[in-house]
């Protein structure tokens, strides 16, 4: 059974810092991996989708990497802003349909 | 596009009552997913449909839960009878293709008292 772990569980940083969120998964036979953002009381917003054949994806200040063989992904956020404060969720899929989520990292960026 | 639309946003009901949650996926998306989010268990897939056909309902916790997708623009998740442990946020999501990301709705916060 696929298990997804996210470290750290919570992170507080001053504005402007670069930061890394970590995600690990136990079964490397994945189809893709997605990073989501969830604001309090809201739904999930898809940030980046990495196919199993890809090594990384970038969108603005966000960069996600994937090392499928070791079962790891990282989400790098450059020059963090208070508006980046949210819960970040990593999810993997074996078939491109069913997602298995990690518990998330709660990020707080202090101004 | 208005995105994935869920209703109601909040539902408070008494134990034993029937609850129906509704979802309108994004037009043109052929896959629809129902997830449940709780503090204890996080996000869990309940069921998903492809082209209106249920593909995997292994996450549906009990026979009290049922889901339908009568057409490409509408799905329901029904709980009958509801119990306090069903209290959670229920999300609907849709996807155009497995090579594209999901779009989630804003969720329905269900409280069963």
For A64-80, how does the pLDDT look when each residue is reduced to its tens digit (9 = 90+)?
A: 999 999 999 999 999 99
Average predicted confidence (pLDDT) for chain B: 95
Give the mutation candidate from B2, B31, B98, B105 for the A interface (greatest A CB count, under 10 A).
B98
Interface A:B, Cβ pairs < 8 A: 54
* pLDDT of A96: 85
pLDDT at B26 over 70: yes
Q: Where are the beta strands (DSSP E) in B1-113?
A: 5-7, 10-13, 19-24, 31-38, 42-50, 53-56, 65-71, 74-79, 88-95, 103-104, 108-112
**B91 contacts B46 by C-beta, under 8 angstroms:** no
DSSP secondary structure string, A28-58?
---SEEEEEEE-TTS-EEEEEEEETT-SEEE
pLDDT at site B99: 83
pLDDT of amino acid B1: 66
Residue B67 has pLDDT above 90, yes or no: yes
* Residue from the list B56, B99, B104 with its beta carbon closest to the beta carbon of A43: B104
Determine the residue of chain B that is closest to A32 in CA distance.
B99
Instruction: Report pLDDT for B2.
Output: 79
Residue A50 · residue A97 · CB < 8 Å: no
Summarize pLDDT for A9-68 with one digit per residue, the tens. Answer: 999 999 999 999 999 999 999 999 999 999 998 899 999 999 999 999 999 999 999 999
């Amino acid at each position: 059974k696929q298990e997804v772990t996210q470290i750290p569980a919570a992170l507080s940083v001053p504005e402007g810092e670069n930061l890394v969120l970590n995600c690990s998964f136990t079964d490397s036979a994945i189809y893709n991996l997605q990073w989501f953002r969830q604001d309090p009381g809201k739904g999930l917003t898809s940030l980046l989708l990495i196919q199993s054949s890809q090594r990384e994806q970038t969108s603005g200040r966000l960069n996600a990497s994937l090392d499928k063989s070791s079962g790891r992904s990282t989400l790098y956020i450059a020059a963090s802003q208070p508006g980046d404060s949210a819960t970040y969720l990593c999810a993997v899929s074996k078939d491109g349909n069913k997602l298995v989520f990690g518990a998330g990292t709660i990020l707080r960026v202090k101004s | 596009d208005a995105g994935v639309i869920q209703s109601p946003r909040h539902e408070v009901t008494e134990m034993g009552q029937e609850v129906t949650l509704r979802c309108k996926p994004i037009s043109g998306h052929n896959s629809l997913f129902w997830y449940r989010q709780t503090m204890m268990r996080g996000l869990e897939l309940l069921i998903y449909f492809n082209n209106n056909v249920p593909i995997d309902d292994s996450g549906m916790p009990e026979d009290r839960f049922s889901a339908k997708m009568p057409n490409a623009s509408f799905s329901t998740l029904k709980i009958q009878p509801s119990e306090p442990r069903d209290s959670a946020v229920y999300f609907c999501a849709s996807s155009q293709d497995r090579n594209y990301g999901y779009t989630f709705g804003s969720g329905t916060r269900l409280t069963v008292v």
